[in-house]
Each structure stands twice: as structure tokens, then as C-alpha cells.
Structure 1
Amino acid sequence: MVDKDLDSGNSICNPDKLPLGDLKLTLIDTDGIRRQVPALDLHWLTRDKPFNSYVCILSSYGRTKSGAALEEWHHIAASCLEDFEFLLHLRHHEFWSYMLYDEAAMTAVVTFLQRANPYYRKEVESSTIGEHDAALTNAMTLYAELLNRAVRIIMRLLTAQESATEWITPEHHSSLLYDNYLMSVPVLCDLVIAVGDADANNLNILEQIFETVIRIQPDYLKDLQEGLAFYENAFLSMQIQVDNEGCEGAGGGTLLDPDAETPYDDVVLFALDCAYTLRMLIQLCPELLEACEQLKLVQIIANFYDLTIPLLYRNIYLINAQASSLCWLNEARQQFLNVVRRITQAQLQTGHGKQLVELLQECLSAQTFVIDYQRQYPVEQDIAILVERCPNIKNYKVDFIIAGYQKTLGSCTSGVIAEKQIPCSLKSDDECGEAKALRVQAALPAAAATGNSNSARDIDLEVFAVLDVLPDLGMGFIRRLLPRYDNSEQAIAAILDDNLPPDLVHMTRQEAFIPADPQDKLQRETGVRHYNVHDGDKYDVLTQDNPQCIIKQGKGLPGAPWNAEQLLDDKRDIGQLKKRYEQYSLVEETPHETGAEYDDDYDDSYEALNYGQAPPVQSLLRAKLQQASAASSAYEAQDASEDDQDDDYEMAGGDDERKGSQNANTNTKRNDFCENPEITRARYQQRQMTKYGQRAQANVEGAPKGQGQTQQTTRNRSQKEAHKSSRANHNRKAGAAFKRSKGMMS
């Protein structure tokens, strides 16, 4: 039993005006015993009814519930409203006791904020309400009351003093909020998305909440700064989900929700939520801008904008060109650009010129981001302001950035991103379809570029490239797969990783390709059907103006001879040979009088004949050849001995005349690279006549036949017959050695 004084008023309960942490209330039990109970205690939890868990009024992907589902939501929402009203009507110490010791009380508030309607979808919700749909009108009114009560509970948590007798010390208040997780960064993010800045009053309330939270506990600012690092992991997660199309539950996996238009709707909504949350956090807490610079959040957004968003557009567009997720993704793009704009404006106002120049320079590699950002916020305007405020900025860096952004924008031919997002549900069905088409064209540079590039691709060549690696696949399956990727390498990687688009996962991979019949196309164009194997191809003279073949008209082929006489009279080959041999006449011949070294105009057979009649000068090579010869006569040995004696005699001196002639010949021979064969032949004949006399002229002809032959003629003939294998033309090796010994080239 509670003391009467406890129910008479708060001033009597706390006459000393103690803070909540030091306050103790007096209770009287049923046996009349008084006892002191702290103001924060489990004793004050007297509620028997459990707190309800809120359910979102929106079904999957932004559709409002209707029918029985809406009635069920209305019942749950009414119970939650009663719970919130109960918490707000509690006395100061009871409210804080429920918040601290009853987890279900705070869970009900957090669950509502997590499942609340995003503020950027409110226009969609209101547009679906008809004038005579009272149930949906009441539902939206009830939701507005729920949101109002939830915000009031958050603000009561942040209020340290409600009256002169109901207050908490700042240290205790900070400890209660921070240590018990009554207020956290996730709660603040959910609150931002639930309230939003669509209305000026809502924005003022959020600003007051953030200012109060950071004032009560400065550690919340550190938590918010650390929470910004989550976005890098969030962007990486979305990129992985988009790349892993075949993974169940990922961006391109099986449709787990029948209401989803594409497998990428979850990823797009997550990106949209991240974009709005990040923009609101920076707007409500400017102290986070410094952390954004340190984390290089702008560069992370630019890379995500350039790599993941175009791929999302292309995949969604190929599956469903009228999907609502294309509009959502376009909104996310706009919000990401607004985030970057706020960061750059903050750097410009604070005079961080060097950081701004480096930021813009690093973003140049993300061409898609650069194009949209330059269209929305031309950098030359910011640079002009920056140069005035920071004159120390180097001009060449500024000129490089301006030229880079302008050149990138000038090379793009796609449409401009929508500056103002117009929800499709605000229009009629026909206008909605047109608006979607226009916005998809405006916000789909990557998909459009991919479509243009696919038209210029050689699909047949890429099909064979895939078959070289995976020969078990069918050409029909490969032709269905290749348009989904930029090249054959990406298609092969997707097949090997089992990461195929959802509509091709269960397709037969051995599907054959049946090409279109050219006769059918020809019949549609001309109305005439032929039955020739070459109908409609590049050799068909009936459909091609310039067929790739020779058209034969009349007898023979074009340019061919008409008859045998014309064929035999063709002298073109002879003319070609004549031109060929005329090229050899281009070698210049120098006359003997002008200093030619060698002029060989005699017959070598004459020298060979003389060599066969008499032995050459003794040399080392000839000696070896003679030793190896199997047949040698005494006459030859005697000739060789006499020849050696003559050589010795000549080397010893001889008479003066011969010595003078020999010295002259030696000097001439030494001066000439190759001695004149005429001189050599004359000297050889002179020596033969001197040594042998008449024997040098061996007569083998003799008298005419029938008149008898002399004994010397018969002997000469026998000698010649016996030794002809080692002399004359029968021993070319010895002849070549002789010519070399005389200084002549063989």
C-alpha cells in the first residue's frame, strides 16, 4: 500500500527537491511497516499488459497495405499508440524506471522507428489515398499520431528537468542515456529517416534533438564519426551483391519476395536509405564534415557511383525496363550528389582550398560521377570563389581540374539527371509510364552505352571464344548470355563461378542455335520466294547490288582469252621475264684500261691442255697429291726432278738477263693481286721449250691413217692413254691446285 502523501502530489513526494538518482520514496506495506524505495527501481513496474511490437503499414517495396492486412495493422498500431500514451502519462520516476528496467518499453519505441515509413515515401503514400477510402485515411492519421508520440518519448528521454521537483543531474542523465543505450547512433539514424526534413518544423525538431544529445554526452559525436566508416562497408556490400548475381539472397539471386519487380530492389532501397541518411546526418551535425574528409568519404561515394550504380541500372533495365527501382536509384544518385556538394561547400567556406583541390582531382577517375556532378554543380564556379579566398592555390592545378571536368562532360552524350525527383505515383498511369521512360533515359548512361556497344560487337566471334573454353555449351545458350555482359571474358567468368542472371540459371545450357532462314527475310522484303542455296547471301545477284562474285556474261571469263590463238599470242610472261633479267644489267663494268684488276678473256681449257702435257711447278700441295696418286711413271719422276733443278737454278741466280727478267716478273707478281694469265702462260711455254725442246710438243696425232706411225708417236699415245686419269681434265683437283699456286682464283 502506497502512502497517501505519495499520491497527493509530486511536491509532497519530493519536498527536498532531490535529483532522481538520490530520491527515495516512502511506502507503507499492508502490515503498516514503512520502507524507503529508490525512485529508480523495479518496484514501479506495475503494468501487466505487455508492450506491443509495431508492424510497418507498407508492404514490401513501398506498397501500402489494404484489406485484411490493413485492418490487422490498424489493430496493432492502436495498441502501440496506447503503449506510447501510457509511457508519456507516467510520472517522472516511473517513466525512467520503465525505460531502464523494462526492455520491452524501449524496444517498442525502437521497433517503431525501425519500421516507420521513410519520410521520402510520404508523397507516395498520400497519393494512393482516395477521397472515399476512409480506412486508409484513418490509417494514415493513426500513423501520424504514432510518430508524434514516439518523437515525444525521445524528447522526454533527453529532458533532464521536467519540473522543480523532477530533474536529473547532468552527469547522471548522461550516464543513464549512454550506458543503458537509451540513445544510440542507430536510434538517431532511424529517427532521421522517420521524421525527415520535408517540413521545416520536423527539421527544427531534429536539430534540437541532435544538439541536445551531443551536449548531454560528447561521446555521441565520436560514435557518429565512427559510424561514418560503416558506409565504406555498406558500399562494398552492395557492390558484392550486384556482382554476385547468382548467389541466393544477393542482388541477383532468386526472388524471395513475390512483390519484388527485380532481384535488385533490396539493394536499391538500401542504397537509397544510405544516401538519405548520410545527407541528413551531415546536415544536422556539421561537425561530421571533418570526419568525412579524414575518411575520404567523397572518394568512396565517387567510386561507388562510377562502378556499382551503372551496373545496377543495366541489370535492372535488362530485366524490367519499367521497374520502380530505376526511379529509386535515380533518387539515390541525386542524394549522393547532394552529400558531395555539402562537403565541398563546407571546405570552400572554411577555406580548405588545398583539400578541396585534392578531392576534386582524385574524383576525376570516376567519369560517371564527374559527368553528373559537373552538370549539377559546375566546378568552375566553386574554383572561382576558391581562388579569391585562397590565392596561394597553384594555377596549374586549378586549370587541370576545370579542364578535366569540362572535357569529361563534353565527351558524354547521355541525358541530364533529373534535378527534382517526381514520384511516378503522383501521376496517372500513362504519365507514369512516360515519366519512367524519360527518367530511365536521363539516368541510364551506362545502360545506353552498353546497348550501343553491343550492337557493334561481333557476337559470332565471341560465341566461338566461349566455345573454345567451354565446348560442352550450346550456341543458343551462349547467345542468350553474351548480351548480359560486356565481353566474352565476363561471360566465361560468370559461367565458371556459377554466377548467372536469375532468368538464365535454370536454362538448358546445351540449347542449340537455329539461325534465321534468309529466305524468310527475303520473302518478307521482296514477296518472292526462291529455292537456291545462295538466295539472300552475299553472292545473290538478285538481291545484292554489288555481289561479291564474278558475273560471267557470254563466252569465257572476264579478262580471259577467247580462243587458242589468243592464248598462244599472250607474251605477258616473256615481258615479265625480260624485266627481271634487265635488273642484272645494272652492274657497272669497268674497262681494263681504267684499272681493272683482272680481265679473263681466254679459254681455261687451253691452260688445262698445257697443264696435261707438262708437270707444274713443284709445290707442297702438288707433292702430297703426287704421293697419293696410285699411278706414276718414271718419265714423270724425271720431269719433276728436272723441274726442281730448274727452280733451284733460277733461285740461285742463273744469268743476269734471266735474273733481271725474274726479278721484274716477281715484282710484278707481288704488286698485282692476281697475275695476268697471259704472262703466266707465256712464261710457262718458254720454260717448256727451254727444258724439253721438241719433247715439249708431244706428237700424238702422227701421220694420216694407213701410212704407218713412227715409234715416238706410238709411245706418246701409250703415255697419254696410261696417264690421262691423273692429268688434263680427268684430275680437276690437281688443276685447281695448280691455278692456286700461280695466284689465280679457282
Structure 2
Amino acid sequence: MANKMPLGVLKLPAAASDGVRRQVPALDIHWITRDKPFTNYICMLSSYGSYKSGAALEEWQHVATSCLQDFEFLLHLSHHEFWSYMVYHKSAMGAVVTFLQRANPYYRVDMDASASSELINAKLLYGQLLNHVVRLIMRLLTEMESDTEWIAPEHHSSLLYTNYLISVPLLCDLVIAVGDADEQNLKVLEQIFMTVMHIQPNYMNDFKEGLAFYDNAFLSMQIQVENEGCEGAGGGALLDPDADTPYDDVVLFALDCAYTLRLFLQLCPSLLSACEQLKLVQSIANFYDLTIPMLYRNIFMINAKASSLLWLNEARQQFLNVVRSITRAQLDSRRGQELVELLQECLSAQTFVVDYQRQYPVEHDINVLLQSCPNIKHYKVDFVIAGYQKALSSCTSGVIADELVSSLNSDDELESVSQAAVLPTVATVETGSNRDLDLEATAVLDVLPDLGTGFIRRVLTRYDNSEQAIAAILDENLPPDLIHMDRQEVFIPADPQDKLQRQTGVRHFNVHDGDRYDVLTQDNPQCIIKQGKGLPGAPRNAEQLLDDKRDIGQLKQRYQQYALVEETPDEAGGAEYDDEYDDSYEAINDGQAPPVSLLRAKLQQASATSSAYEAQDASDDDRDDDDGPDSDQERNANGNSKRTDFCENPEVVRARYQQRQMAKYGQRAQNDVVGAPKGQGQTQQTTRNRGQKEAHKSSRANHNRKAGAAFKRSKGMLS
């Protein structure tokens, strides 16, 4: 050692088995003289956080004592022997790694005041073990122990990195074992991380790859929560009797990831930029919004007093702290655009947004940001603030589930839970909720008709819709408490009579009991109380029903209203109804007024007819309506009745039109195309008319049917 050479080139004299002394490198397997392997440590805690007791605790004390002796042996070795054991004796470094992997998490080190003396002594022994392991790691990171015992920086870096003496998984276990609960522990961890980064910068790349692992970790936990009922998954059978629910493993893994990530960012702030590049905040927000509420709901339905609910709440708080450290770093570095975009991308995760807004209101950060970065677009800032505030205002759950916390009755555990964290609301399904379980059960029965309605309704209460329930049944992926249930269970609904009896105290047996028609419970029922045969105002027998002529009287009264024309004088003193005016208006509507001679002849004929039948009409008006059908037939037969047709005879209309045409055009109005019977020859005029019709039939032909039909309708000819 007097040569003061580094470990990599130093050679020391050693006697061989034949007695010959030779020079052996200081770092060589020759210096390993121990044949006994180093003891592997076993955990002091049981599978889910409780301390061992009885024979298990005695076994742990024996193993822990052996480990303590091994660690003391390594610490008392000389410089070159220590490095030779750590490099060439695999069980030496394996003992250190095993201890850190099975060490007590620093956030689960609470102990009751009424603990036994054996447990207290075991806790002191564990503290000595942790102290020795930290000293071993510090010795691995020390380049120069004395003036004569030291390692060249390049050789030191290579030994640590290539032989995996210091690795990212080891550092992850170290931060969970030591923690930051004590200020001195935090300083030790900061010194270790600073030395590691100084010795080998390549560890920074390993840390970034370790951060990328969180995406896979989140996906793995989500799969385990969704794969209920699968062996080895979160919803599988209980592999350990100490576990409260099958999801305790998943919760502890999430808690460990949350604490590790928070401590990494606290001890190595340079990783914050890597988190932004990997979009770690978005991954946390999605995991927070999708997996954690589902995990909470499944645990709560199995065991509402499970300790894993509090562990899950701790994990949520730590994830919020991780996101806060990243946003705080962006705010301090005045990277306002990145901060606003990050908060905007997280808006889709409503559960995360609500909890983050409750604990770290974004409007406070935005106000500070606008003072240092006034160039940020205000419409984006307003959108982010409005989104976070709206999500918080629309959330109906409280800050903490008081009923659940009061039911746990564990003050020591509640002290470790942050009061700012929010427990998610359990999605329970009831018959009176917005969901229609009968309709969803019918949808499931259409696909799986062999199942019972009772079993289907139980499954539907555990899922959000019928599609998820069908998928879970087909995949045999049901919750543990539903796997062995009777699938032919029949659903028997609650008897409404029992509910009515509890409300009124009276039990009836009528289907209308308690409704608005019930005469026994309603003073004024909304119905007609029928007494005797028939209903009030209804006919008593068939004869009275057939003799009812009220509908005929109503029709007669209605049509009489059309016959009444009110004759009121106008302002000029004349009558409003003028018969002559109507006749002339009708003539104009015909499209062509008849000749004056025809009008004069028509008026003369009308006056003669009216004078001849005036007496007859007067006698008919005075006659009673009940003369019978014989009198009507007699009048019709004699032609003495003056009757007004509802629709004018088309023959009369055509004749009148032919008269007008003859009066106007004379013989030119005739356009005979029929002619004489076949075989008797045709006149020249008939032949000419036929040719003219044949030449001009394309101009009109059937194209005037619509106009002709409209003309007929205007004249009352409906057919």
C-alpha cells in the first residue's frame, strides 16, 4: 500500500499454496476466502403491511441477525478485499439487493404504542440492518478511502456501471426503504444521487428509461383491475389469507410507484424535463381517471372497511404531488405555454381535474404566470380556468368520505392520509336510479337466455351497462363474489302491497289500492262511482238506445245554418244579397257571357214559369213537413215540385254551352268528325274536319285533361 497506486493497477504480494510468493492484483478473486454464502434477508412485515409475530417473528430475528453479521463482515474488510467481494462474490451484492427489495417501506413503519418488547427489539434490529446497507452503498460510491486506498475515477465508474453494483432498480428500492420522513434521511439520499450522477452520467439515461416504465406499469394495473376473476390478476382468488381483498397487491404496487416517482423527482430535479417529453402527466391523469375509480369501487363492494382503501387514497395524493412538482417547475422556469397546454390536455380526465383543482387551484398559478409571461394568449388561459372550475363545481362528492372514514375507526391510519385527498364516489345502482335494470336485463337475456334474471340483475349492479355485463359473463371475468353464485337465480320483485301497508297501516287486496281511483283511501276519487245498471246518462235498454234521434237533430241544425242568408242593408240602402247580381256573376264565371237574345229569352221564360207556379209554391210552403213520402212522390210525378239540385246536370251545362257556341259562330261551331255510318260514304265537310283534327291533335289531345278536370270541378261536376 506504500506505493499509493489506484486499485486498478495495484498488485499485492501473496503466498501461493506451494509457498512461493507472487504479486496478485488488488482486485482479484484470490482475495475471496469465505466459502459460506451470504444470508438472504426475509421481510419483517407480512404480505399486506402487518408485523410478524410469534414463531414467524423469531425466524425473522434469526435471519436478520445473520444478515447483520454478514454486513459487518463486508464493512470491516480492507479496501481491495471489499471490492473483490462486491465484484466477484455474487452473493455479497445479492444480499444487499435482497434486503432493499424486502425492506419495510418507510410509509408503513407505524407501530402501536402497545407493541410487545419483542417487536420493539425487532424494530431496533431492523434499523441497524438498514444503517449497515446504507453504509455499504456509501462505501461503493467512495473513490478515496485514504491516501493509500483509492480508485481511479474512470475505473470506479466502470466498476459500478458494468457490474451493476449501482442500478436504477436498486436506487428505487433504496428511496422506498429510507424515505424522506426524516430530514437526515433526505440529506443522505440527496448525497447518494448527486454522487451517482457525478460518477457516471449514463445513469441519467437509465433514469429516463425507468420513467418510461410507468406507462407499462399503469397499463398492467388497469388490466389486472379489469380482468376480475382471473387467477393471479387483481380480481382473482385470495392468494394470501392476510389480504382483505384480491386487489391489495395492485393497490400496494400503485402506492409504491407513486412514492418512488415523487422521491425521484425530488432528489433529481433534472428528470422533470424527461417527464415532460414522456408525457408522464397525461399518463398519470388517465390512470387517475380510469383505473383508480374502478379499483376503489371494486374494493368497496367487497369490503368497505379494507385497509387498501386508505392505501389507495395515499397513492392518489402522491400522484397529485408528482404532477404538482412538474407544473411548479414549468411555472418557475417561466414556460407558460407548455404549462397551459399541459393543463389543457388533462381536461379530459375529469376525476383528476377535480382533485387537482381542489388541492392546487389553477387560477392561482395562472395569475402568477401572466405576470411573468404576459404574451400568453388569454383565450387559452380563460378556457383552462373555466374548464377546471366547471369540473369542480359539477362534482357532487365531498372532500373526504366521512361515512367511510368514521366506519374505519383507525386514528393512526387516518393520520397518514392527507385530508386534501378525495375518495371517489361509489357507483351503486338502485331500482329508482336513472338506469332501467329491467330493460338492461332483457338485453342480456336476448344474448344469454339460459341465465336467470336474478343473477343478471346482480351482475348489472357491478357494471355500467349491459354490454360490459355480457362481456364479463362470456369471458368468465366476473367479480369474485359472483363467480360461484347460482346462475339460474330468479328475480322476485318486492311486493308493492307490503310497501303500501308500511305507509298506510292498512292492507288491501285490490290492484288499485292507494291510487287516485281508490275509494277507500281517497276522499274525492277521480272516477265515476257507478250504482246499479248502466252509467249516468246512458240508455237503460236497447229500445231507448235505438230511439235516440239526438244525433239526427244535431245534423239538421247544422245544415240549416247553410240555408240561412242574412239580408242586411248596406250603406247605400240596397240589399246585400242581390239575385240579379249573382246570376250575372255566374254567367261571367262560365268564361263567356251568352248572347243578349238568349238572356232575354231566358228571363221571359223564367218570369212565365214563376207566375204559373206561384200559387203552387205558396201552397207547398204552408204544407206541414210530416205529409209522408207519398206526397213527395206525387209531387215529383206531377212535376209540380220546384226543386233545387245540389249539382247541376252536366247535360244541361253541355247543352247551354252548345247554344252559346251556335249563337256565336253559327255553322262554324259544328265540327262534325263522326259522319254517317260506315259504308254509306262521308261528306266533304266531314272528311275535312277529320283531316284538321288529325293535323292539330298534337297541339291539344290529352294534354288538356288537367284544365278540363279543373273546369268540371268548378262547375260542381265531381265525376
Superposition TM-score, scaled by structure 1 size: 0.74
Q: Distance in 2 between matches of 1:581 and 1:208?
A: 112
Q: Distance in 1 between matches of 2:219 and 2:425?
A: 20
Deviation at 1:428, TM superposition (A): 11
Give the residue type in structure 2 aligned to 1:172: H
Q: Deviations over 1:667-690 (max 9, x none)?
A: xxxxxx99xxxxxxxxxxxxxxxx
Q: Deviations over 1:51-94 (max 9, x none)?
A: 11111011011011111111111111111111111110111111
Q: 1:391 and 2:374 equivalent?
A: yes
Deviation at 1:439, TM superposition (A): 9.4
Q: 1:322 and 2:305 equivalent?
A: yes
SS at match of 1:183: coil
1:246 is matched with 229
2:201 is matched with 218
Q: Distance in 2 between matches of 1:361 and 1:136?
A: 51
Residue among 137, 144, 163 paired with 1:161 = 144
Give the residue type in structure 2 aligned to 1:506: H
Q: Deviations over 1:253-282 (max 9, x none)?
A: 121122111111111111111100000000
SS at match of 1:25: strand
Indicate if the aligned counterparts of 1:477 and 1:509 stay in contact, CA closer than 8 A. yes
Structure 2 unaligned spans of 5+: 565-578, 593-644, 657-668, 691-703, 706-711
Residue among 390, 393, 402 paired with 1:410 = 393
Q: Distance in 2 between matches of 1:454 and 1:292?
A: 46
Residue among 487, 507, 523 paired with 1:509 = 487
How many residues of Structure 1 are paired with residues of Structure 2 in the alignment? 613
1:93 is matched with 80
Q: Distance in 1 between matches of 2:163 and 2:553?
A: 108
Give the residue type in structure 2 aligned to 1:475: T
Structure 1 unaligned spans of 5+: 1-13, 611-615, 628-633, 652-672, 675-738
Q: Deviations over 1:489-521 (max 9, x none)?
A: 211121122211111112221222223334444
Structure 1 window deviating more from structure 2 (550-559 vs 474-483): it is 550-559
1:593 is matched with 584
Mapping for residues 272-287 of structure 1, pairs under 5 Å = 272-287=255-270
Q: Are residues 63 and 541 of structure 1, via their aligned partners in 2, closer, same or farther at CA, if it must alter by over 3 Å?
A: same
2:440 is matched with 462
2:511 is matched with 534
Residue among 183, 196, 201 paired with 2:179 = 196
Residue among 400, 422, 447 paired with 2:426 = 447
Q: Deviations over 1:192-244 (max 9, x none)?
A: 00000000000000000000000000000111012100001111111111111
Give the residue type in structure 1 aligned to 2:589: A
Residue among 310, 317, 323 paired with 1:334 = 317
1:170 is matched with 153
Q: 1:111 and 2:95 equivalent?
A: no
Give the residue type in structure 1 aligned to 2:351: T
Q: Are residues 648 and 373 of structure 1, via their aligned partners in 2, closer, same or farther at CA, if it must alter by over 3 Å?
A: closer
Deviation at 1:593, TM superposition (A): 2.7
Q: Are residues 176 and 604 of structure 1, via their aligned partners in 2, closer, same or farther at CA, if it must alter by over 3 Å?
A: closer
Indicate if the aligned counterparts of 1:519 and 1:535 stay in contact, CA closer than 8 A. no
Q: Distance in 1 between matches of 2:534 and 2:475?
A: 57
Residue among 228, 240, 259 paired with 1:257 = 240
Indicate if the aligned counterparts of 1:351 and 1:390 stay in contact, CA closer than 8 A. yes
Indicate if the aligned counterparts of 2:400 and 2:419 stay in contact, CA closer than 8 A. no
Q: 1:209 and 2:192 equivalent?
A: yes
Q: Are residues 567 and 96 of structure 1, via their aligned partners in 2, closer, same or farther at CA, if it must alter by over 3 Å?
A: farther
Residue among 478, 481, 496 paired with 2:456 = 478
Q: Distance in 1 between matches of 2:430 and 2:296?
A: 15
1:23 is matched with 10
SS at match of 1:318: helix
Q: Deviations over 1:272-294 (max 9, x none)?
A: 11100000000000000000010
Residue among 361, 368, 373 paired with 1:378 = 361
Deviation at 1:352, TM superposition (A): 1.0
SS at match of 2:48: helix
Q: Distance in 1 between matches of 2:15 and 2:488?
A: 85
Q: Distance in 2 between matches of 1:144 and 1:453?
A: 55
Q: 1:268 and 2:247 equivalent?
A: no
Q: Deviations over 1:343-362 (max 9, x none)?
A: 00000111111110100111
Q: Distance in 1 between matches of 2:520 and 2:255?
A: 55
Residue among 529, 538, 561 paired with 2:538 = 561
Indicate if the aligned counterparts of 2:453 and 2:490 stay in contact, CA closer than 8 A. yes
2:166 is matched with 183
SS at match of 2:52: coil
> What percent of counterpart residues are identical?
62
Deviation at 1:466, TM superposition (A): 1.2
Q: Deviations over 1:692-726 (max 9, x none)?
A: xxxxxxxxxxxxxxxxxxxxxxxxxxxxxxxxxxx
Q: Are residues 597 and 305 of structure 1, via their aligned partners in 2, closer, same or farther at CA, if it must alter by over 3 Å?
A: same
Q: 1:33 and 2:20 equivalent?
A: yes
Q: Distance in 1 between matches of 2:208 and 2:545?
A: 96
Mapping for residues 130-145 of structure 1, pairs under 5 Å = 130=114, 133-145=116-128
Q: 1:491 and 2:493 equivalent?
A: no
Q: Distance in 1 between matches of 2:230 and 2:524?
A: 51
Q: Distance in 2 between matches of 1:217 and 1:115?
A: 27
Indicate if the aligned counterparts of 1:538 and 1:547 stay in contact, CA closer than 8 A. no
Q: Distance in 2 between matches of 1:269 and 1:573?
A: 88
Indicate if the aligned counterparts of 2:244 and 2:303 stay in contact, CA closer than 8 A. yes
Q: Are residues 85 and 311 of structure 1, via their aligned partners in 2, closer, same or farther at CA, if it must alter by over 3 Å?
A: same
SS at match of 1:61: coil
Q: Distance in 2 between matches of 1:609 and 1:50?
A: 134
Q: Distance in 1 between matches of 2:514 and 2:281?
A: 56
Q: Deviations over 1:312-347 (max 9, x none)?
A: 111111111111111011111100000000000000
Looking at CA atoms only, which structure, 1 or 2, has the larger radius of gyration? Answer: 1
1:708 is matched with none
Give the residue type in structure 1 aligned to 2:313: N
Indicate if the aligned counterparts of 2:12 and 2:23 stay in contact, CA closer than 8 A. yes
Q: Distance in 1 between matches of 2:408 and 2:309?
A: 17
Q: Distance in 2 between matches of 1:415 and 1:160?
A: 55
Q: Are residues 602 and 71 of structure 1, via their aligned partners in 2, closer, same or farther at CA, if it must alter by over 3 Å?
A: closer
Q: 1:305 and 2:282 equivalent?
A: no
Indicate if the aligned counterparts of 1:109 and 1:150 stay in contact, CA closer than 8 A. yes
Give the residue type in structure 2 aligned to 1:230: F
Indicate if the aligned counterparts of 1:327 and 1:440 stay in contact, CA closer than 8 A. no
Give the residue type in structure 2 aligned to 1:541: D
Q: Distance in 2 between matches of 1:375 and 1:70?
A: 43
Q: Deviations over 1:385-420 (max 9, x none)?
A: 1111111111111111111111111111211159xx
Give the residue type in structure 2 aligned to 1:504: L
Deviation at 1:189, TM superposition (A): 0.3
Superposition TM-score, scaled by structure 2 size: 0.77
Mapping for residues 37-116 of structure 1, pairs under 5 Å = 37-116=24-103
Structure 1 window deviating more from structure 2 (377-386 vs 488-497): it is 488-497
